[in-house]
A and B are shown apart, each in its own frame.
Chain A
């Protein structure tokens, strides 16, 4: 799914967060958005993923604006996956139930958990597993409906370097199978895995690098 953001600007109150961004995310690509805290990465990610409406500008998905997509919840559930810095697993549900909450087809849960190496932890709760395992469960929840693109905001921000590299490897693997990834992070190592690297600073795109 091609995503095009045009003339994107966003304000939080008086604060001007995004200052006019034009961006294109190609279908199936692995895009890294890097920059320091406060550069506008999360806001741009939220706008591109339909979670936030830009103050000015528009986003198109395969040439359709958000208003042309129909029910946005349904569109999101079928086409977009999310991974956040804090895993945001629901604490009173097991890892499997967390994935099932998003799943359109529950038959796909066990194979996916096995693929991510957490099938033996399916009945555990998030506070009974390690940080890396929690993030894998969150990735499983993002991938369960075979979305066209997964948005990840600082997905390794809470992980040690070994687990962080494990997450990037997973993204790379699923990206090779056709799922697009848009990952925002201040971790420069992310750039080693991405096809496209977008560097942000003070609400604008400072540079775009494509391999």
Chain B
């Protein structure tokens, strides 16, 4: 342990470059994964609130385009095993000076899902603001959504960034604003074990709609797949860039230290010993870079979360599973990036190493 640390100290400049290269790559992986994961988990949490089954328009790619007839809510509510049905209109529109804000038209029975911090639930012509947008708009008494004026009836607090930075209105007002009846129905069941048979009944009742368990909807939701794929691709690019950075820097390190490795070979240390030595050096850097990248990423996510510019919509989180995955990725990056230069160093004839330079 001491020898690799001393070697790293001796080659401070290149060690610092490898460290920075790895830190940037790991932080990029952390951030893209945390932000995309945050978007997915926020939207999933919103759908899961009071929703064991979700009903959308059949064959629609995005809930924002979905339009189902809200008059069917009553028929669904009568099905045995259904505890409650609520309807949502999901839309986005300019609010005051903000160019785009999430607008949620909800049926009255869903108002209880929002924790009011002041005022009351909205009546017709009124809105309830998330605490974030309430602060951003500096405590307005009324607001314009598109060109329509609404009074502010109350303020609610939500851990879901999309909601906390958004506006809640009556389902009817939402229908007028977005020219649709409802985007989705959220159905809670009295017995989750009967969800399959209930889904069949709902699909029979609503031939233009498509019912799924909320979990299966989230798993198959196209937008989440796009977000996840984009995040994976960017993460993979950051990983590859990290490896390339390590390979190029370690090649320079190996070139500088050929004499040292030549001495090691001449005194009988094996090629494997030299490879392990170089790998252990980069592993130390990888662990440090991982820790720093984690800290930096948490800081950046905190800044983004509280930046007015993002209205609380970008709400990344680094769960333990992501932490473990990125640690494995960091170690793999260090090992893969070092392996080629290390093998190259270990294969060069010791005599030619000695002739090329001192230690």
Contact = CB atoms under 8 A, between A and B. Distances in A.
A52 interface: yes
B351 A51 contact: yes
B263 interface: yes
A78 to B, nearest CB: 7
Interface string A1-40: 0000000000000000000000000000000000000000
Contacts of A90: 260, 263, 359
A52 B353 CA distance: 11
Given A90-B263, A92-B9, A80 B268 contact: yes
Nearest to B273: A73
- Give the size range of B's interface with the partner: 20 to 34
A46 interface: yes
Contacts of A86: 358
A130 interface: no
Interface in A72-100: 73-78, 80-82, 84, 86, 88-93, 97
B270 interface: yes
Max chain B C-beta neighbours (<10 A), residue from A46, A141, A145: A46
B325 interface: no
Contact of B265 (A46, A73, A84, A93): A73
A77 B269 contact: yes
A178 B74 CA distance: 103
Interface in A44-83: 46, 51-52, 71, 73-78, 80-82
A73 B351 contact: no
A92 B263 contact: no
A90 B262 CA distance: 11
A93 B7 CA distance: 8
Given A76-B268, A77-B269, A93 B6 contact: yes
Interface string A167-184: 000000000000000000
B350 A51 contact: yes
Contact of B3 (A82, A91, A93): A93
Interface in B339-358: 349-351, 354, 358
A175 B265 CA distance: 24
A97 B260 CA distance: 14
Given A77-B268, A84-B354, A102-B268, A91 B349 contact: no
A73 B268 contact: yes
Nearest to B9: A92
B36 to A, nearest CB: 43
Nearest to A77: B268
B351 A141 contact: no
A101 B354 CA distance: 17
A86 B2 CA distance: 25
B3 A51 contact: no
A18 B10 CA distance: 39
B69 interface: no
B255 interface: no
B10 A102 contact: no
Nearest to A88: B263
Given A73-B268, A80-B268, A90-B359, A52 B263 contact: no
Interface string B8-41: 0110000000000000000000000000000000
B257 to A, nearest CB: 9
Contacts of A75: 268
Contacts of B262: 88
Contacts of B269: 73, 77, 101-102
Contact of B259 (A76, A88, A93): A88
A43 to B, nearest CB: 9
A91 B358 CA distance: 9
B267 interface: yes
Given A92-B10, A142-B267, 7 more contacts: A51-B350, A76-B266, A91-B359, A92-B6, A93-B3, A101-B3, A102-B268
List 9 A-B pairs, minimum CB-CB distance, nearest first: A77-B268, A92-B10, A51-B351, A76-B268, A102-B267, A73-B270, A92-B6, A90-B359, A52-B351
15 contacts: A73-B270, A77-B269, A81-B267, A86-B358, A88-B259, A88-B262, A88-B354, A90-B359, A92-B6, A92-B9, A92-B10, A93-B3, A93-B6, A101-B3, A145-B268
